[in-house]
């Protein structure tokens, strides 16, 4: 049942938008568009001395799934290493595409009903892709989000 995707927990995460906002002087940043729908996410990071994520801020224009996914990053990404984020993303992809286990971040279980809807996988994964992009490059100021 498609409506199962839109349970209260997903809507609540999207609405709370954990981590939404700006960082004053980010060490890393990235912008990623979903070419299918024009959704866009900006991610800014401040890194600790050991390279782990110290702070994350995002601005997400997207569907409920995309915003909920970004909100989960806002909750859990701080404190994580680049390798850990890569692992979570790989596990999340496997969960969606190949019926894999739910990653260690419990809220990601909420996306299990998205499994049969391949066109929506990118909505869930867009924030993770943007975060990995930010982790892999130097900070470059992002222009206004625009359309």
Partner 1 sequence: MTSDPLTLRTEFPLFAAVDGPLHYLDSAATSQIHRSALDATVRHETTARANVLRGNYRLAEAATAAYESAREQVARFLNASSPDEIVFTCGATAALNLVAWSFGERLVSGDAVLISQAEHHSNLVPWQRLRERTGIALKALPLTGEGRIDTDALPRLVGSRCRLIAVTHCSNVTGAITDVPAIVAAARGVGARVLLDGAQQVQHGPVDVQSLGIDFYAFSGHKCFGPTGVGVLWGRAGILADLPPFLYGGGMVGRVDMDVATFAEPPRRFEAGTPPIAQAVGLGAALDWMRGLPWDRIRWDELGLARQLLEGLSRIEGIRIIGPTDLADRQPIVSFHLPRLHPHDICQVLDERGLALRGGHHCAQPLLRAFGVDSATRASIALYNTAEDIEALLAGLDDALRILA
Compute the least distance from the CB of residue 19 to partner 1, in Å: 19
CA 114 to chain CA centroid, Å, is: 15
| Nearer Cβ to partner 1 (1/98) | 1
For 52, residues 6+ apart whose C-beta sits below 8 A from its C-beta are 79, 80, 81
| Nearer Cβ to partner 1 (47/63) | 63
Compute the least distance from the CB of residue 69 to partner 1, in Å: 13
d(C-alpha 101, C-alpha 70), whole Å? 20
Compute the least distance from the CB of residue 119 to partner 1, in Å: 8
The residue ranges that bind partner 1 (CB under 8 A) are: 1-3, 5-6, 11, 36-40, 61-65, 117, 120, 123, 147
| Nearer Cβ to partner 1 (55/122) | 122
Lookup: tokens for 32: 């990623």
> Contact 29/140 with Cβ under 8 angstroms?
yes
For 24, residues 6+ apart whose C-beta sits below 8 A from its C-beta are none
**Cα diameter, the chain:** 46
| Nearer Cβ to partner 1 (28/40) | 40
Compute the least distance from the CB of residue 44 to partner 1, in Å: 21
């Amino acid at each position: 049942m498609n409506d199962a995707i839109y349970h209260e927990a997903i809507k609540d995460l999207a609405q709370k938008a954990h981590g939404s906002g700006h960082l004053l002087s980010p060490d890393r940043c990235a912008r990623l568009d979903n070419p299918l729908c024009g959704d866009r996410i900006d991610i800014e990071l401040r890194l600790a001395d050991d390279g782990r994520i110290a702070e994350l801020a995002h601005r997400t224009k997207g569907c409920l799934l995309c915003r909920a996914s970004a909100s989960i990053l806002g909750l859990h990404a701080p404190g994580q290493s680049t390798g850990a984020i890569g692992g979570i993303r790989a596990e999340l992809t496997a969960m969606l595409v190949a019926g894999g286990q739910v990653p260690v971040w419990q809220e990601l279980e909420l996306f299990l009903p998205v499994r049969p809807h391949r066109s929506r996988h990118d909505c869930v994964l867009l924030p993770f892709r943007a975060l990995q992009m930010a982790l892999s490059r130097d900070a470059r100021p992002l222009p206004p989000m625009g359309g």
